[in-house]
Amino acid sequence: MSTKNYLFKLIIVGSAAVGKTSLLERYVNNRFLEDYKLTIGVNFMSKILEESDFKARLVIWDIGGQKRFEVMRTEFYKGASGAVLVFDLTRMETYTAIEAWLNEVRQFAGEIPFILIGNKADLIETIGRVIDKQYAEEFAQRENGIYIETSAKTGTNVEDAFTAFTRLIIKS
């Protein structure tokens, strides 16, 4: 059996300080940087994901979530194979903004597959859960996406999220 090869451009979007860059850093370089640095505009990283039945090169564009980058960031949506929508599990306003993020993705990238990631699961124990997991799961399902909770800090579910999402894109 031959392995299929893929090249996917992914965009990772969401409100400021939800952990987009940290998720990417954990996934690509398996590290967590303690000091937060605002993403100015856009950055990108790539990683080869090798599974038994496929090999995919993921080029992941980390797009700044601040309002002032809104006009510029839409250019980077073009040609995306999938979108990673991220919110902070401890900040309700980042979850309520997800629908607007999904609408923006669909406006500028079309009906591409998406994964909804609730990040900062490591903080739930100390801060408390603000977003009901069932609401997030139902939203993702209703909009034809998938949902997973992660922690960029501990690495929990980060690898699984990108692997599951890549499989979803391949099936689409």
- Rg for the chain (alpha carbons), in Å? 15
Contact present, 86 and 119 (Cβ < 8 Å): yes
Flag residues of the chain having pLDDT under 70.
1, 36-42, 65-73
Contact present, 90 and 123 (Cβ < 8 Å): yes
The CATH number of the domain covering residues in 4-171? 3.40.50.300
> For residues 56-71, b (16+ Cβ closer than 10 Å) or e, as one string?
bebbbbbbbbeeebee
Supply the pTM of this predicted model.
0.93
Residue 67 is predicted with a pLDDT of 61
Residue 72 is predicted with a pLDDT of 62
The span from the CA of 69 to the CA of 42, in Å, is 9
Residue 44 is predicted with a pLDDT of 87
For the chain, the domains span 4-171
pLDDT, tens digit, for every residue of 145-170? 999 999 999 999 999 999 999 999 99
